[in-house]
Structure formats: structure tokens, C-alpha cells
Amino acid sequence: MAQARREFAPDISVVVPVYDEAGAAPALAREIAAAFAGRAFEIVFVDDASRDGTRAALKALAGEIPQLRVLGHRKNSGQSRAVRSGILAARAPVIVTLDGDGQNDPADGPGLVDALNAGPPDLALVGGERVKRQDSQAKKLASRFGNGVRKRLLRDTANDTGCGLKAFRREAFLRLPYFDHIHRYLPALMLREGYQVAFRPVNHRHRQSGRSKYTNLGRLAASLSDLFGVMWLQSRARNPGGVDEV
């Protein structure tokens, strides 16, 4: 079985970072498998050193979901690092990411992949934009404010970079500079590299278990530092407009 998994070459790798999500992760894995049934896919869960039974709960699904792989960080390193670990380990050229708390709907993933594959060659990312968000009013207001400031300063055309549901090309992601919280700046960084990005509305659901790992104040403090850093990266970009072998 292990040898067969190594030889399998999927078209899509679904990468899911999780931290203390034992209550949500198994059901989410089953939903992802159902959503991508009929396609060549793998599911890569990255457990960011959870303190609960997340890792064991996922490993118990190995016989039920043969496409499932479970990676584990030795120490907690944050969502962006978990996403990157999953992408580095992924076997497919197309990556789908979604949050591990179950609020992103896996049923929207195939549509993002289809939009990516139907686009022009330089389309590198199709991001989800959450409609009818199932969050507290305070969280929605903070998100709206943060998205507005970021969009104005970075000109990344994105209304909702906080949505974890995205489809993008693995090769394009690996060209980007890595830093913590990079997952919120993928559209801006893809544009900086000369790629195109697009967006589609996606569903958003209530959290069924666990609790959010972020606070509004904590997110704001990190976002200001990250925002200035990405603005600096944009200011130092030089794009040759393509490379020709002569």
C-alpha cells in the first residue's frame, strides 16, 4: 500500500492545516474525499503539533480514505508554515487549500480547480470569496476593515484574502518569498511575480467544534507588520515581462 501511494501521481493535492481540531478534522476529511470523488487527488493534512487527538483521529482514517496523508510538525509553527509543509510534500501540480475548522465548504473546491484549469496559462490562483459569512459581527467588521485597507494599499484586487479556500499552481507558489502569514497575501505576491489571479464566491459555514486560534487584536498586530513587508517587496520587484531563449 505504501509503495502504491508513492507511485500515485494525482492531479490535485488538497492541503489542510490543522491545530487542535480533533472534533472537526475526520468529518472534514470525509467531505473532501466525497467532493473530489472521480478525480485524481490526494488529501494532505498537516497537524501543527496539536495538543489533542487530532493526529490520531486522522491516522485512524487511513483504511477508509486511501488518498489521505497525514504530516505532523514536531513543534507548533503556525498556519502558514503548515500550509507550506503540505505544499512541499504535495505530489500534484494544482493545490487546493482550505481551513481545518470545517467552515470552508469542500464542495466549492472542484469549482475553483475547474476555473483555474480553464483560465489562461498565466492564471496562477483562483481564490474563494466568502458569502454570507457565519462569523460574529465583530469578526466580520474587523475583516471588512482589514481587507479594505490591504486591497487599497497592495492593489491585489482581492476582497477576502482571509478565505482559506484557494486553488493555485504549486510551481507558482514555490516561486514566492516565504514568511509567516503568507497565506493572506498570496494574490498580491502572485501579481508581483507576473501571474494573474481571479476570484469566485464560495460558501461559508458555522464552526461546529473547537475555537478560533485568532483574536481581532492579535490579527491586527501581525497584519500591520506583514502589510508593510509586502509593500516593501512590491517596491523592490522587477518584472522582465517574460523570458525568451534565443
SS (H, E, C) the chain: CHHHHHHCCCCEEEEEEECCCCCCHHHHHHHHHHHCCCCCEEEEEEECCCCCCHHHHHHCCCCCCCCEEEEECCCCCCHHHHHHHHHHHCCCCEEEECCCCCCECHHHHHHHHHHHHHCCCCEEEEEEEECCCCCCHHHHHHHHHHHHHHHHHHCCCCCCCCCCCEEEEHHHHHCCCCCCCHHHCHHHHHHHCCCEEEEEEECECCCCCCCCCCCHHHHHHHHHHHHHHHHHHHHCCCCCCCCCCC
pLDDT of residue 224: 78
Residue 246, judged by CB atoms within 10 A of its CB (0-12, 13-18, 19+), counts as: exposed
In CATH, what class is 2-235? Answer: alpha beta
User: Can you give the pTM of this predicted structure?
Assistant: 0.87
Q: What is the pLDDT of residue 214?
A: 54
Per-residue pLDDT of the chain (246 residues; tens, 9 = 90+): 455 555 679 999 999 999 999 999 999 999 999 999 999 999 999 999 999 999 999 999 989 999 999 999 999 999 999 999 999 999 999 999 999 999 999 999 999 999 999 999 999 999 999 987 656 666 667 667 777 788 888 989 888 888 999 999 999 999 999 999 999 899 999 999 999 999 999 999 887 665 655 555 556 666 778 898 999 999 998 888 888 998
pLDDT score at 134: 57
Domain regions of the chain by residue span: 2-235
- Look at residue 146 in the predicted model and tell me its pLDDT: 74
